[in-house]
């Protein structure tokens, strides 16, 4: 069955991709009129798409005229990284506590394998996100999962913007994921959380330097 995608969904996905790939820059203003002309639509689907991007945290200062892309910088990236790291530690503990490891482990193994196979391609980031999301898919806590998804787009922006062209970062991330997976297979919560924390701390060292902070 072919699913038809609504106009506002198409516009939302197009604008989101443009922001994540920085074809639309940080701080850039988006006007309703220009977007209507670009997509050949009325104001309603444009407003709907803008509201969704605002909910994702990608836009701010919404008015009747339009909105502005957030001024994303290293300080904001560090804040987002801290939130996502804390959520991951809790998701790991819950998935083990609720006995979901037999279902989750094969998913994690597949993600690591696919990351290895796609390390030099854009698909790498798809499997990187899937690895992390898997812990939330199996944590059996809808509220924790909801909080994660509320911040996941900004985290995706962080990864794509600061690590997009860093091949060495990808190799290190795969090693980190393998360490997390191995500890998870052993069922040691504290060890898994330790590796999760190390993974997130290692990923933001360049950001901390930019922001003038010590880790």
What is the rounded CA–CA span in Å between residue 167 and residue 164?
Answer: 8
Helix or strand holding residue 60 (H, E): strand 59-60
Whole-number Å distance between alpha carbons of 133 and 84: 11
Identify the band that residue 1 occupies on the pLDDT scale cut at 50, 70 and 90: low
- For 184-211, the pLDDT digits (tens) are 999 999 999 999 999 998 877 766 665 5
Assign 215 a pLDDT band (cuts: 50, 70, 90): very low
| Token couple for 9 | 């969904």
Helices (H), the chain: 7-20, 32-39, 43-56, 74-97, 101-117, 123-137, 142-163, 167-186, 189-203, 205-211
* The pLDDT value given to residue 89: 96
pLDDT at 124 exceeding the cut of 80: yes
User: How much is the pLDDT for 191?
Assistant: 96
pTM value?
A: 0.85
**In the Cβ-directed half-sphere of 206, how many Cα atoms lie within 13 Å?**
10
Query: Would you say domain 7-69 falls under CATH 1.10.10.10?
Result: yes
CATH of domain 74-211: 1.20.120.530
- Which residue ranges make up each domain of the chain? 7-69, 74-211
């Amino acid at each position: 069955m072919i699913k038809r995608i609504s106009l506002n969904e198409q516009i939302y996905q197009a604008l989101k991709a443009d922001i994540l790939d920085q074809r639309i820059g940080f701080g850039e203003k988006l006007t309703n009129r220009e977007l209507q002309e670009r997509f050949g639509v009325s104001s309603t689907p444009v407003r709907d798409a803008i509201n969704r991007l605002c909910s994702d945290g990608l836009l701010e200062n919404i008015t009747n005229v339009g909105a502005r892309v957030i001024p994303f910088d290293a300080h904001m990236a560090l804040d987002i990284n801290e939130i996502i790291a804390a959520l991951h530690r809790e998701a790991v503990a819950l998935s083990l506590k609720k006995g979901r490891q037999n279902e989750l482990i094969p998913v994690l193994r597949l993600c690591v394998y696919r990351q290895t196979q796609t390390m030099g391609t854009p698909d790498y980031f798809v499997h990187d996100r899937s690895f992390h999301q898997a812990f939330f898919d199996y944590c059996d806590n809808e509220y924790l999962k909801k909080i994660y998804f509320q911040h996941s787009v900004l985290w995706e922006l962080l990864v794509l913007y600061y690590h997009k062209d860093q091949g060495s970062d990808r190799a290190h991330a795969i090693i980190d994921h393998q360490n997390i997976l191995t500890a998870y297979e052993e069922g040691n919560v504290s060890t898994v959380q330790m590796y999760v924390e190390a993974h997130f701390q290692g990923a933001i060292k360049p950001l901390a330097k930019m922001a003038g902070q010590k880790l």
